[in-house]
Amino acid sequence: DAKANQRGGLRLFNKGFDQVLQQRLQTASELRHSVARSELELHFQPQIALKTSRLVGAEALLRWRRNGELVSPVDFIPAAESSGHIVSIGAWVLEEACRQQLHWQQETGLELTVAVNVSMRQLLDVHFLEMLTGVVQKTGINPKNLELEITETVMMENAETVVDLLAEVRDLGVQIAIDDFGTGYSSLSYLQQLTVDRLKIDRSFVQLVAEQDEARVIAAMIVKMGQLLGFKVLAEGVETSEQLAELKKLGCDEVQGFYYAKPMAADAWLEYVNQLNC
Ligand code: C2E
Ligand code: MG
Ligand code: MG
Ligand code: MG
Protein backbone atom coordinates (compact mmCIF):
# COMPACT_ATOMS: atom_id res chain seq x y z
CA ASP A 1 0.00 0.00 0.00
CA ALA A 2 2.71 2.41 0.99
CA LYS A 3 4.61 1.48 -2.16
CA ALA A 4 1.61 2.11 -4.36
CA ASN A 5 1.17 5.49 -2.75
CA GLN A 6 4.80 6.29 -3.32
CA ARG A 7 4.54 5.39 -6.98
CA GLY A 8 1.40 7.43 -7.35
CA GLY A 9 3.14 10.30 -5.63
CA LEU A 10 6.07 10.01 -7.96
CA ARG A 11 3.89 10.07 -11.04
CA LEU A 12 2.10 13.10 -9.74
CA PHE A 13 5.39 14.80 -9.06
CA ASN A 14 6.67 14.01 -12.56
CA LYS A 15 3.55 15.40 -14.12
CA GLY A 16 3.87 18.63 -12.14
CA PHE A 17 7.51 18.90 -13.03
CA ASP A 18 6.75 18.44 -16.73
CA GLN A 19 4.20 21.19 -16.57
CA VAL A 20 6.66 23.53 -14.91
CA LEU A 21 9.25 22.83 -17.61
CA GLN A 22 6.67 23.20 -20.36
CA GLN A 23 5.54 26.53 -19.00
CA ARG A 24 9.10 27.71 -18.66
CA LEU A 25 9.83 26.88 -22.31
CA GLN A 26 6.69 28.71 -23.40
CA THR A 27 7.62 31.75 -21.31
CA ALA A 28 11.16 31.68 -22.66
CA SER A 29 10.01 31.68 -26.26
CA GLU A 30 7.72 34.65 -25.62
CA LEU A 31 10.46 36.46 -23.73
CA ARG A 32 12.73 36.29 -26.75
CA HIS A 33 11.02 39.31 -28.30
CA SER A 34 10.26 41.22 -25.13
CA VAL A 35 13.16 43.67 -25.50
CA ALA A 36 12.59 44.37 -29.20
CA ARG A 37 8.87 44.84 -28.61
CA SER A 38 9.45 47.20 -25.70
CA GLU A 39 7.43 45.01 -23.36
CA LEU A 40 9.78 45.48 -20.41
CA GLU A 41 9.59 48.27 -17.88
CA LEU A 42 11.31 49.18 -14.65
CA HIS A 43 9.51 50.08 -11.48
CA PHE A 44 11.28 51.85 -8.63
CA GLN A 45 11.12 51.43 -4.87
CA PRO A 46 12.62 54.05 -2.55
CA GLN A 47 15.56 53.38 -0.24
CA ILE A 48 15.69 55.61 2.81
CA ALA A 49 18.48 56.48 5.25
CA LEU A 50 17.20 55.88 8.78
CA LYS A 51 19.14 58.54 10.68
CA THR A 52 18.15 61.41 8.41
CA SER A 53 14.92 59.96 6.97
CA ARG A 54 16.22 61.08 3.59
CA LEU A 55 15.65 59.37 0.29
CA VAL A 56 18.97 57.97 -0.93
CA GLY A 57 17.99 56.03 -4.01
CA ALA A 58 15.79 53.39 -5.57
CA GLU A 59 15.90 49.73 -6.46
CA ALA A 60 14.92 49.06 -10.07
CA LEU A 61 12.50 46.13 -10.31
CA LEU A 62 11.69 44.60 -13.65
CA ARG A 63 8.15 44.07 -14.97
CA TRP A 64 7.02 42.45 -18.21
CA ARG A 65 3.94 43.73 -19.98
CA ARG A 66 2.79 40.53 -21.61
CA ASN A 67 -0.44 40.88 -23.59
CA GLY A 68 -1.32 43.94 -21.55
CA GLU A 69 -0.84 42.16 -18.24
CA LEU A 70 1.99 43.09 -15.87
CA VAL A 71 4.04 40.00 -15.05
CA SER A 72 6.20 39.80 -11.93
CA PRO A 73 9.89 38.90 -12.25
CA VAL A 74 9.47 35.80 -10.08
CA ASP A 75 7.31 34.43 -12.91
CA PHE A 76 9.78 34.99 -15.74
CA ILE A 77 13.33 35.48 -14.39
CA PRO A 78 13.83 31.69 -14.00
CA ALA A 79 12.84 31.14 -17.65
CA ALA A 80 15.01 34.07 -18.72
CA GLU A 81 17.92 32.57 -16.80
CA SER A 82 17.65 29.02 -18.10
CA SER A 83 17.14 30.14 -21.70
CA GLY A 84 19.95 32.70 -21.59
CA HIS A 85 17.64 35.60 -22.54
CA ILE A 86 18.58 37.16 -19.21
CA VAL A 87 21.81 38.39 -20.83
CA SER A 88 20.09 40.70 -23.30
CA ILE A 89 17.28 41.53 -20.89
CA GLY A 90 19.80 42.36 -18.17
CA ALA A 91 21.70 44.65 -20.52
CA TRP A 92 18.46 46.46 -21.31
CA VAL A 93 17.67 46.78 -17.57
CA LEU A 94 21.08 48.24 -16.81
CA GLU A 95 20.95 50.84 -19.55
CA GLU A 96 17.36 51.83 -18.78
CA ALA A 97 18.18 52.16 -15.06
CA CYS A 98 21.15 54.43 -15.82
CA ARG A 99 19.10 56.60 -18.18
CA GLN A 100 16.39 56.88 -15.54
CA GLN A 101 18.88 57.89 -12.84
CA LEU A 102 20.20 60.68 -15.06
CA HIS A 103 16.66 61.77 -15.86
CA TRP A 104 15.77 62.09 -12.15
CA GLN A 105 18.90 64.12 -11.58
CA GLN A 106 17.99 66.45 -14.40
CA GLU A 107 14.39 66.81 -13.26
CA THR A 108 14.91 67.10 -9.50
CA GLY A 109 18.51 68.12 -8.96
CA LEU A 110 18.90 65.15 -6.61
CA GLU A 111 21.76 62.72 -6.99
CA LEU A 112 20.05 59.44 -6.16
CA THR A 113 21.49 55.97 -6.57
CA VAL A 114 19.86 53.31 -8.68
CA ALA A 115 20.25 49.66 -7.66
CA VAL A 116 20.00 46.98 -10.34
CA ASN A 117 19.54 43.24 -9.72
CA VAL A 118 22.02 41.04 -11.53
CA SER A 119 21.51 37.29 -11.72
CA MET A 120 24.08 34.55 -11.89
CA ARG A 121 23.90 33.75 -15.59
CA GLN A 122 24.21 37.42 -16.42
CA LEU A 123 27.14 38.06 -14.09
CA LEU A 124 29.02 35.02 -15.39
CA ASP A 125 28.49 35.94 -19.03
CA VAL A 126 31.95 36.47 -20.56
CA HIS A 127 30.97 39.91 -21.85
CA PHE A 128 29.49 41.17 -18.59
CA LEU A 129 32.25 43.62 -17.66
CA GLU A 130 32.48 44.90 -21.20
CA MET A 131 28.72 45.45 -21.25
CA LEU A 132 28.78 47.24 -17.88
CA THR A 133 31.67 49.50 -18.91
CA GLY A 134 29.91 50.23 -22.19
CA VAL A 135 26.66 51.23 -20.48
CA VAL A 136 28.43 53.49 -17.99
CA GLN A 137 30.30 55.24 -20.81
CA LYS A 138 27.39 55.46 -23.20
CA THR A 139 24.92 56.87 -20.67
CA GLY A 140 27.41 59.05 -18.81
CA ILE A 141 26.11 58.00 -15.38
CA ASN A 142 28.42 58.70 -12.48
CA PRO A 143 29.33 55.10 -11.58
CA LYS A 144 29.04 55.80 -7.85
CA ASN A 145 25.32 56.34 -8.41
CA LEU A 146 24.93 52.83 -9.79
CA GLU A 147 24.74 49.77 -7.56
CA LEU A 148 24.59 46.11 -8.55
CA GLU A 149 22.61 43.75 -6.30
CA ILE A 150 23.89 40.20 -6.26
CA THR A 151 22.29 37.50 -4.15
CA GLU A 152 24.32 35.70 -1.57
CA THR A 153 23.72 32.33 -3.27
CA VAL A 154 25.24 33.56 -6.55
CA MET A 155 28.30 34.75 -4.69
CA MET A 156 28.86 31.49 -2.89
CA GLU A 157 28.28 29.20 -5.85
CA ASN A 158 31.11 30.73 -7.83
CA ALA A 159 33.15 32.19 -5.04
CA GLU A 160 36.54 32.71 -6.69
CA THR A 161 35.30 33.96 -10.05
CA VAL A 162 32.85 36.26 -8.34
CA VAL A 163 35.42 37.76 -5.95
CA ASP A 164 37.60 38.72 -8.93
CA LEU A 165 34.71 39.99 -11.01
CA LEU A 166 33.32 42.12 -8.24
CA ALA A 167 36.73 43.62 -7.58
CA GLU A 168 36.75 44.78 -11.22
CA VAL A 169 33.24 46.14 -10.92
CA ARG A 170 34.29 48.18 -7.90
CA ASP A 171 37.37 49.43 -9.78
CA LEU A 172 34.92 51.02 -12.19
CA GLY A 173 33.47 52.90 -9.22
CA VAL A 174 30.18 50.99 -9.33
CA GLN A 175 28.75 49.96 -5.94
CA ILE A 176 27.82 46.42 -4.91
CA ALA A 177 25.15 45.12 -2.55
CA ILE A 178 24.64 41.57 -1.33
CA ASP A 179 20.92 40.90 -1.73
CA ASP A 180 18.77 38.61 0.46
CA PHE A 181 21.57 38.42 3.01
CA GLY A 182 21.15 35.73 5.65
CA THR A 183 19.26 33.24 3.50
CA GLY A 184 22.25 31.78 1.67
CA TYR A 185 25.25 30.20 3.21
CA SER A 186 27.99 32.82 3.24
CA SER A 187 30.99 31.68 5.14
CA LEU A 188 32.65 34.33 7.24
CA SER A 189 35.98 33.78 5.49
CA TYR A 190 34.28 34.62 2.23
CA LEU A 191 32.98 37.91 3.61
CA GLN A 192 36.51 38.67 4.63
CA GLN A 193 37.71 38.58 1.00
CA LEU A 194 34.80 40.44 -0.47
CA THR A 195 34.65 44.15 -0.67
CA VAL A 196 31.10 45.25 -1.09
CA ASP A 197 29.31 48.42 -0.12
CA ARG A 198 26.07 47.15 1.34
CA LEU A 199 24.34 44.14 2.90
CA LYS A 200 20.60 43.84 2.39
CA ILE A 201 19.00 41.95 5.28
CA ASP A 202 16.51 39.51 3.80
CA ARG A 203 12.82 40.26 4.24
CA SER A 204 12.23 37.01 6.14
CA PHE A 205 14.14 38.38 9.16
CA VAL A 206 12.73 41.89 8.83
CA GLN A 207 9.18 40.56 8.86
CA LEU A 208 9.71 38.96 12.27
CA VAL A 209 12.12 41.50 13.73
CA ALA A 210 9.50 43.03 16.03
CA GLU A 211 7.92 39.75 17.14
CA GLN A 212 10.51 37.03 17.35
CA ASP A 213 13.65 37.04 19.47
CA GLU A 214 15.59 34.89 17.02
CA ALA A 215 14.86 37.13 14.04
CA ARG A 216 15.81 40.19 16.10
CA VAL A 217 19.09 38.61 17.19
CA ILE A 218 19.96 37.65 13.61
CA ALA A 219 19.10 41.11 12.31
CA ALA A 220 21.14 42.69 15.12
CA MET A 221 24.08 40.46 14.29
CA ILE A 222 23.96 41.29 10.57
CA VAL A 223 23.83 45.02 11.34
CA LYS A 224 26.75 44.81 13.77
CA MET A 225 28.88 42.54 11.63
CA GLY A 226 28.17 44.44 8.42
CA GLN A 227 29.04 47.76 9.98
CA LEU A 228 32.20 46.42 11.63
CA LEU A 229 33.30 45.14 8.22
CA GLY A 230 32.71 48.61 6.81
CA PHE A 231 29.48 47.93 4.92
CA LYS A 232 26.19 49.79 5.06
CA VAL A 233 23.28 47.62 6.14
CA LEU A 234 19.85 48.00 4.54
CA ALA A 235 16.74 46.18 5.74
CA GLU A 236 14.39 45.13 2.95
CA GLY A 237 10.68 44.42 3.20
CA VAL A 238 9.86 46.82 6.05
CA GLU A 239 6.08 46.91 6.32
CA THR A 240 5.16 48.21 9.79
CA SER A 241 6.12 51.01 12.17
CA GLU A 242 7.02 48.34 14.77
CA GLN A 243 9.58 46.82 12.43
CA LEU A 244 10.93 50.27 11.62
CA ALA A 245 11.28 51.17 15.31
CA GLU A 246 13.13 47.94 16.00
CA LEU A 247 15.51 48.47 13.07
CA LYS A 248 16.22 51.99 14.31
CA LYS A 249 17.09 50.58 17.73
CA LEU A 250 19.47 48.12 16.09
CA GLY A 251 21.24 50.97 14.31
CA CYS A 252 20.40 49.77 10.81
CA ASP A 253 21.54 52.30 8.17
CA GLU A 254 18.83 52.13 5.55
CA VAL A 255 15.39 50.70 4.88
CA GLN A 256 13.18 49.78 1.98
CA GLY A 257 9.66 48.36 1.98
CA PHE A 258 5.92 48.76 1.59
CA TYR A 259 5.84 50.84 4.80
CA TYR A 260 7.30 53.66 2.68
CA ALA A 261 6.14 52.72 -0.80
CA LYS A 262 5.58 49.86 -3.19
CA PRO A 263 7.60 49.82 -6.40
CA MET A 264 6.27 52.51 -8.76
CA ALA A 265 6.26 52.98 -12.52
CA ALA A 266 8.72 55.60 -13.80
CA ASP A 267 6.36 58.59 -13.91
CA ALA A 268 4.79 57.84 -10.51
CA TRP A 269 8.29 57.51 -9.09
CA LEU A 270 9.34 60.89 -10.41
CA GLU A 271 6.22 62.43 -8.89
CA TYR A 272 7.04 60.75 -5.57
CA VAL A 273 10.57 62.18 -5.61
CA ASN A 274 9.34 65.63 -6.53
CA GLN A 275 6.84 65.59 -3.69
CA LEU A 276 9.52 64.66 -1.14
CA ASN A 277 11.81 67.28 -2.59
CA CYS A 278 9.55 70.30 -2.18
P1 C2E B 1 14.69 41.36 -4.62
O2 C2E B 1 15.81 41.93 -5.40
O3 C2E B 1 15.00 40.83 -3.28
O4 C2E B 1 13.61 42.51 -4.57
C5 C2E B 1 12.75 42.74 -3.51
C6 C2E B 1 11.36 42.20 -3.78
O7 C2E B 1 10.56 42.36 -2.61
C8 C2E B 1 10.61 42.91 -4.90
O9 C2E B 1 9.74 41.97 -5.52
C10 C2E B 1 9.81 43.95 -4.11
O11 C2E B 1 8.66 44.40 -4.80
C12 C2E B 1 9.43 43.15 -2.90
N13 C2E B 1 9.18 43.99 -1.73
C14 C2E B 1 9.72 45.18 -1.43
N15 C2E B 1 9.27 45.64 -0.25
C16 C2E B 1 8.41 44.72 0.21
C17 C2E B 1 7.60 44.62 1.41
O18 C2E B 1 7.60 45.49 2.27
N19 C2E B 1 6.86 43.50 1.54
C20 C2E B 1 6.82 42.52 0.60
N21 C2E B 1 6.05 41.46 0.81
N22 C2E B 1 7.58 42.57 -0.53
C23 C2E B 1 8.36 43.66 -0.71
P24 C2E B 1 9.65 41.83 -7.10
O25 C2E B 1 9.67 43.18 -7.73
O26 C2E B 1 8.52 40.92 -7.39
O27 C2E B 1 11.01 41.12 -7.47
C28 C2E B 1 11.27 39.82 -7.05
C29 C2E B 1 12.69 39.40 -7.35
O30 C2E B 1 12.90 39.34 -8.76
C31 C2E B 1 13.74 40.38 -6.85
O32 C2E B 1 13.97 40.18 -5.47
C33 C2E B 1 14.92 40.01 -7.72
O34 C2E B 1 15.60 38.89 -7.21
C35 C2E B 1 14.25 39.63 -9.02
N36 C2E B 1 14.35 40.76 -9.98
C37 C2E B 1 13.62 41.88 -10.05
N38 C2E B 1 14.03 42.68 -11.06
C39 C2E B 1 15.09 42.04 -11.63
C40 C2E B 1 15.99 42.36 -12.72
O41 C2E B 1 15.93 43.43 -13.35
N42 C2E B 1 16.95 41.43 -13.02
C43 C2E B 1 17.07 40.26 -12.32
N44 C2E B 1 18.05 39.41 -12.68
N45 C2E B 1 16.27 39.95 -11.29
C46 C2E B 1 15.28 40.81 -10.94
MG1 MG C 1 17.22 43.21 -5.06
MG1 MG D 1 16.22 41.08 -1.82
MG1 MG E 1 14.64 38.33 -3.15
Ligand 1 contact, 81 CB (< 6 A): no
pLDDT band at 4 (very low <50, low <70, confident <90, very high): very low
CA of 141 to the centre of ligand 4 (A): 26
Cβ of residue 77 lying under 6 Å from some atom of ligand 1: yes
Measured by CA distance, the residue closest to atom 25 of ligand 1 is 61
Which of ligand 1's atoms lies nearest the C-alpha of 118? 44
Highest mean pLDDT among 95-109, 147-161, 170-184: 95-109
Rounded to the nearest whole angstrom, what is the distance from the C-alpha of residue 66 to the centroid of ligand 3? Answer: 24
Write down the pTM of the prediction. 0.92
Atom number in ligand 1 closest to CA 81: 44
Section 93-104 average pLDDT: 98
Q: How many CA atoms lie within 13 A of 212 on its CB side?
A: 9
237 pocket-lining for ligand 1 (C-beta < 6 Å): yes
The closest residue, in CA terms, to atom 19 on ligand 1 is 237
Residue 8 has pLDDT above 50, yes or no: no
pLDDT above 60 for 7: no
Check pLDDT > 50 for residue 99: yes
Q: What is the pLDDT of residues 156-200, one digit of tens each?
A: 778 888 889 999 999 999 999 999 998 877 677 778 888 899 999
Residue nearest ligand 1's atom 21 by CA:
237
Whether residue 62 has its Cβ less than 6 Å from ligand 1: yes
The C-alpha atoms of residue 57 and residue 49 are separated, in whole angstroms, by: 9
Point out the ligand nearest to the CA of residue 61.
1
**86, 121 Cβ separation under 8 angstroms:** yes
Q: Does ipTM come in above 0.90?
A: yes
Q: Which residue's alpha carbon is nearest to atom 8 within ligand 1?
A: 61
Where are any strands of DSSP class E within the chain?
A: 40-49, 55-66, 69-71, 113-117, 146-151, 175-181, 198-201, 232-236, 254-256, 264-265
Q: Is the CB of 182 under 6 A from ligand 1?
A: no
What pLDDT shows up at residue 15?
A: 64
Report which residue type is found at 219: A
Query: Which residues, by Cβ under 5 Å, contact ligand 4, an ion?
Result: 180
Q: What is the average per-residue pLDDT within 22-43?
A: 88
Contact between 158 and 122 under an 8 Å Cβ cutoff? The reply is no
Ligand 1 within 6 A of 117 CB?
yes
Please provide the DSSP assignment of 213-249 as one string: HHHHHHHHHHHHHHHHTT-EEEEE---SHHHHHHHHH
Pocket test for ligand 1, best of 40, 61, 203 (most atoms within 8 A of CB): 61
Q: Ligand 1, residues 42, 93, 96, 117: which to mutate, most atoms within 8 A of Cβ?
A: 117
Confidence (pLDDT) at 12: 55
